[in-house]
Amino acid sequence: MLTLGGACVYAASTAGRFAPIAIVTGALAVGLLALGLVLRWPSMIPWTIILAGAGYLTAREGKDLVDGWAVVEGVALLLAAELASWSIEHDARIRTEPALAVRRALTLTALCLGALLVNVMLLGTAGVAASAGVLVAAVGVAAAVTAVAVVLRLVRA
């Protein structure tokens, strides 16, 4: 909740005149996450992330410059989602070996570091000046669709 709250606070602080909207969406996201954690509903997690993302999108409205902190914002949202999943999955009746918790923490750290690296590369690529056009947009759509298709293929495998 703290991680998600931090991400939402950052979005609200950079929102300018859209700050009230960013604050409301951020508060809603944190509230939903709290509800999901209390009621142990994992289906709440994606909605909180989408709400927090929407708040961040609102905050970026009207700004032409690419935000470098988006690298951290994305990783923070992933971290919030992972920690929330961990909290909801945790069952006190199952006695977990301590090594297992350490292992999961290490996996999560590695994932966040990997995501940070990928994000830095992505935003670095976005910073390269290139002419926009229909062709570039088409390539972007194709890339997005391919990414989702790859994920679906992996799920079925």
Partner 1 sequence: MTRYATAKLASYAGISAVGLLTALVTARPELVAVTAPFLLALGAGLALATPPRLSVEVTLDAPRALEGDEVGARVTLSSTTPVDRLDIYVRLPDGVTLADGRNPVALHLAAGQERELELTLLAQRWGGHVIGPTYLRARDPLGLLTWETTAETRPELRTYPREDVLQRVLQAADTQVFAGNEVARTKGEGIEFADIRPWGAGDALKRVNWRASARRGDLWVNESHPERNTDVILFVDSFAEARLGAEGTLDLAARATSALADAYVRRRDRVGLIAFGGILRWLVPGTGLVQLYRIVDSLLDTQIVLSYYWKEIDVIPRRTLPPNALVLALSPLLDPRSVGALIDLRARGHDLAVIDVSPVPFTKRPASGLDSIAYDIWTLRRDALRHRLRSTGVAVVEWDNQLPLQAVLEEVRAFRRYARHARG
Residues that bind partner 1 (CB under 8 A): 42-43, 45-46, 49-50, 53, 56-57, 60, 66-67, 70-71, 73-75, 77-78, 81-82, 85, 89, 93-97, 99-100, 103-104, 107, 111-112, 114-115, 118-119, 122-123, 126, 137, 140-141, 144, 147-148, 150-152, 154-155, 157
Phi/psi at 62 (5° precision): 85, 5
CB of 147 vs partner 1, minimal distance in Å: 6
CB of 136 vs partner 1, minimal distance in Å: 10
CB of 144 vs partner 1, minimal distance in Å: 4
d(CA 59, CA 55) in angstroms, rounded, equals 6
The pair of structure tokens assigned to 132 is: 């926009």
d(CA 121, CA 126) in angstroms, rounded, equals 9
d(CA 34, CA 37) in angstroms, rounded, equals 5
